[in-house]
Amino acid sequence: MDLAMVTSYRVPRTRTELSLTPGERVVGGGTWLFSEPQPDVNGLVDLQGLGWPVWEELPDGGVRIGATATIAQLLAAPWPDAPWPEASAQRLAAQCADALLMSFKVQRAATVGGNLALALPAGAMIALTAALGGEVVVWRAGGERRQPVEAFVVGPGATTLATGEVIRAIELPGSSLRARTAFRRLALSEHGRSGIVVVGRRDAGSSDVTITITGATGRPVVLRLPADATPADVRALTRRIEVWYEDPHGAADWKAAVSTAFAEEILAELAEERR
């Protein structure tokens, strides 16, 4: 879609050039920005010119994913080998992307940072990075700040980003990249966008299980379960959730019931390897 009010376009090459004037908006892939009218936007600032690397290895064996990395680039990245190829972090990345119905064209343009900044309940990269214990690196005036993905997204379309702040990267810890994962999704129609996405993770060398719920909730909800957790513990935790999200993809009570059942299944699945 044409953005009729846009009169300027610039490509910053340094951090200091990221300072925005009134009406300017940063753009990564632009898949959402160009999908509907933006009457309050009069200028675009293209982050791609900053040349952020797609994938950088960290000392702990984790990775830093550049905010301007596209979904397709992330899926093609050199994920580390895992003991469970069929239940690995790399496999989980593809499952999250597929669950929320991004075409290959969108995957080649949409960015990881943009997906988080939009903060949609259906955010594929929100599901992935929250489930893997990701941390958002945010550039701000005079420095940077860090925040877990699960806390960065605070509601549908809402994040903790302040005016002038820009997502620089998302960092994933090494323990999560080598974790065993479990994945469940459900949509109201056979080929519809998932109304519920539930992901489980058990890090190598640990018996604890982490379960993340997205799509069904207005923001990511993370349940942390000890080694001796039972289905009753799962039900007790999901009963405390207050952010079940009702939309055309499902009623809130339905999402709560199915998410709870999925979480119980995931706990049992990941517990099999602990015995």
pLDDT average, residue stretch 138-151: 94
Contact 78, 90 (CB under 8 A): no
Q: Flag whether pLDDT at 3 surpasses 60.
A: yes
Q: Which of residues 6 and 56 earns the better pLDDT score?
A: 56
For residue 16, name the pLDDT band (cuts at 50, 70, 90).
Answer: confident
Tell me the per-residue pLDDT of 84-133, one tens digit each, with 9 for 90 and over: 888 999 999 999 998 876 667 788 889 999 999 999 998 999 999 999 99
Contacts of 252 (CB under 8 A, 6+ apart): 244, 245, 246
In contact, 12 and 21? CB cutoff 8 Å: no
Of the chain, the percentage scoring pLDDT greater than 90 comes to: 67
> pLDDT at position 32, please?
65
Report how far residue 259's alpha carbon sits from residue 250's, in angstroms, rounded to the nearest whole number: 12
How does DSSP assign 218-229, residue by residue? SS-EEEEE-TT-
Nearest to 8 by CA among 19, 23, 18: 23
**What residue ranges define each of the domains in the chain, with the CATH number in brackets?**
8-45 (no CATH), 53-175 (3.30.465.10), 179-274 (3.30.390.50)
124 in helix, strand or coil?
Answer: helix
CA distances from 141 to 20, 147, 166 (A): 11, 16, 10
Give me the half-sphere count of Cα atoms (radius 13 Å) on the Cβ side of residue 74.
Answer: 35
Q: Judge whether 111 and 28 are in contact, CB under 8 Å.
A: yes
Query: Do the beta carbons of residue 147 and residue 239 sit within 8 Å?
Result: no
Distance CA 182, CA 269 (A): 7
Pairing of strands 143-148, 153-155: unpaired
The pLDDT of residue 91 is 96
